[in-house]
Amino acid sequence: MFGRLLGPTGSSDEPAGPRSSITVEPRSDPAADAAVKRRIEKQVQQAVGDRVRSVEIRVSGRSVVIRAQAARFWQRRGVRRSLETMPLPSGYRARVEMID
């Protein structure tokens, strides 16, 4: 208990310097990003099919941006909902943007 109040006791096992709890993750691998992009493109094609005029997918680290343009204006809501509920690989977060 006194170690918390007075600081470390000076054991020789641990260095006395401050320990950072923040870890820096390395940049993601471009080949892995490309593989995830191809997988997501295939899922998008299966999910929305011909209801979209164009689809653009960007993968950067663990974030995915899906930009889509619906073929008809009344299909926008359905396309957005289909893309938002589409399962992604674990650990990835998606953001869907509809192009008017």
pLDDT value at 24 more than 80: no
Mean pLDDT value of segment 67-87 = 96
What is the dihedral sign for C-alpha 91, 84, 37, 88? positive
Task: Phi first, then psi: give them for residue 57, nearest 5 degrees.
Answer: -120, 130
- Closest by CA to 69, choosing from 42, 43, 99, is 99
pLDDT value at 3 more than 60: no
Map out the domains of the chain with their CATH numbers: 52-100 (3.30.70)
Instruction: Provide CB contacts within 8 A for 9, sequence distance 6+.
Output: 3
- pLDDT band at residue 63 using 50, 70 and 90 as cut-offs: very high
List Cα–Cα distances, 28 to 55, 67, 88, in angstroms. 23, 21, 17
pTM of model > 0.75: no
- pLDDT band at residue 20 using 50, 70 and 90 as cut-offs: low
pLDDT at 100: 86
Show the beta-strand stretches assigned E in 11-51: none
